[in-house]
Amino acid sequence: MSDVVALLHAGLLVSDLPRARAFYESVVGLQVFPDRPDLPYPGAWYDLGGGQQLHLMNLPNPDAGSVRPGHGGRDHHIALGVRSINALKARLDAAGVKYTASQSGRVALFCRDPDANTLEFVEIS
């Protein structure tokens, strides 16, 4: 039996923090977690509810030049629950963000942020 009981946060590397923040706040709709400590690099933390967070870290990405698969479900990714896939699709379409439907049959989609980090969004009730 594992002692692991929760995923507390996921960290993503970004090259342009203002651009990444615009995507995560305006397109995805996340709210900034205000109590990010004074770390030695720029970044932003987002509250996902239930004690979970997403951390953006403006640091060099050792994988920046790698070739990513066309479908995000075949790449390393994080999955976020959303109330409405259709509402998210409308925001992604308005922002010109490309996405693909999940190939699992679930109500879910994959897209990439401006730094090619893969995000999966799964509709939950």
Q: Residues near 114 by Cβ (< 8 Å), separated by ≥ 6?
A: 14, 16, 19, 20, 23
What local confidence, expressed as pLDDT, does residue 12 receive? 98
**Does the structure show a pLDDT above 80 at 125?**
no
**Does the structure show a pLDDT above 90 at 88?**
yes
Q: Residues near 101 by Cβ (< 8 Å), separated by ≥ 6?
A: 108, 109
CATH topology assigned to domain 9-123: 2,3-Dihydroxybiphenyl 1,2-Dioxygenase; domain 1 (3.10.180)
Q: Which two tokens stand for residue 24?
A: 């995560």
Give the whole-number percent of the chain exceeding pLDDT 70.
100
Residue-wise pLDDT for 97-113, tens only, equals 999 999 888 999 999 99
Residue 93, classed as helix, strand or coil, is: helix
Q: Shortest CA distance to 82 belongs to which of 57, 111, 58?
A: 111
Q: How many helices (H) and strands (E) does the chain have?
A: 2, 8
DSSP β-ladder status, 9-13 and 52-57: parallel
Residue-wise pLDDT for 38-72, tens only, equals 999 999 999 999 999 999 999 999 988 899 998 89
Residue 90, classed as helix, strand or coil, is: helix
d(CA 98, CA 93): 7
Q: What is the mean pLDDT of residues 18-25?
A: 98
